A = this chain, B = another copy of it.
Amino acid sequence: MSTENTLVIVMKPDASVGQIANVTARVQQIGARVHLSEGEEQTIIGVIGNGSPINCEQIQSLAGVERTVPITRPFKLASREFHPQDTVVPVNGLQVGGRRLTVMAGPCAVESREQILETARIVKAAGGHALRGGAFKPRTSPYSFQGMGEKGLRLLAEARQVTGLPIITEVISPEHVPLVTTYADILQIGARNMQNYALLHAVGAAQRPVMLKRGMMSTIEELLMAAEYILSHGNERVILCERGIRTFEKYTRNTLDISAVPLLKQLSHLPVIVDPSHATGSWELVIPVARAAIAAGADGIIVEVHPNPAEALSDGAQSLKPERFTELMASLDAIATAVGRTL
């Protein structure tokens, strides 16, 4: 893909004429055009690339350079400039990113046949569109429940057969991608793996839509660069997910970055889903935050629902009981209408 790379080089106030000439020569060597702006106190050098990448790090280490300021956004395939129309990702009958919102719901982890089938029925009955459930769980502690593995995947497939709901489940290792692809309708990349590039390559080569969650301390630019990895490996069916970032606030598990929703829609053509359960860590906050997400322009939400949160093997505190999920769906319906969408 040919693209311009534009940057600004800020020279130190005491940079010598020779240093400025040296930097200019270096930039011209790689075929870029140079525009000198000489002030009385400081010289700045505008660089317009010709398609070859410009290595800021190299330039920054040249004598006399104070800093470099990249101008061009580093993502291409993920950017709206590159692809002005909204991308709609087809998922087994569902359209993620269209006028109709997508609600994905289910337990944090698949725990048993009864649990997942019961939850699937609840989700279906309340009007949810897809079933979530983890079979491979990335857990902070090696002593915590790590998921049911392939057995969990089979139970998810059974729940899909019973309810017709497409399923979304997390894949945590490149070697599991073929296995998970066999069962799942959407491959989920979790927040902790947003920059696991080997995994991004693997799902980039897979024949399934991918939902990519923002890392809890990743910038919006890094999220779009991670999407770029998947897109550049040939998979165009990428769904972005905002799930809260890590801040100093302690009352909530994370801080949902609500502005990220309209910003991602502005910068990118990819659909944006919000996860209010992980963002807040508390079921009492899920409904108002889910409403806010839809009001801000999200294409849908993914929430944790458990038939009995007090028995959940993980994340019970942030799971909705069935009746609260039904309440959420009703409540979202009104907001959807208010912003010109449907549920």
Contact = CB atoms under 8 A, between A and B. Distances in A.
Question: What is the oligomeric copy number?
Answer: 4
Contacts of A245: 247-249, 255
A266 interface: yes
Contacts of A60: 316-317
A217 interface: yes
A108 to B, nearest CB: 9
Contact of A310 (B58, B246, B337): B58
Contact of A247 (B229, B247, B339): B247
A288 interface: yes
A334 to B, nearest CB: 4
A41 to B, nearest CB: 5
Contacts of A303: none
Given A141-B74, A173-B198, A259 B246 contact: no
A172 B144 contact: no
B6 A42 contact: yes
A328 interface: no
A259 B263 contact: no
A216 to B, nearest CB: 6
Interface residues of A, number: 113
Most buried by B among A59, A81, A249, A283: A249
Contacts of A69: 8, 69, 71
A279 interface: yes
Nearest to A251: B220
A259 B252 contact: yes
A271 to B, nearest CB: 16
A3 B142 CA distance: 14
Contacts of A27: none
A197 B255 contact: no
Interface string A243-268: 00111111110011111111100100
A300 interface: no
Nearest to A38: B48
A89 interface: no
Interface stretch (A96-104, A124-132, A289-297): A289-297
Nearest to A172: B198
A133 interface: no
A219 interface: yes
B262 A289 contact: yes
A295 B285 contact: no
Interface in A200-218: 215-218
Interface stretch (A160-168, A178-186, A188-196): A188-196
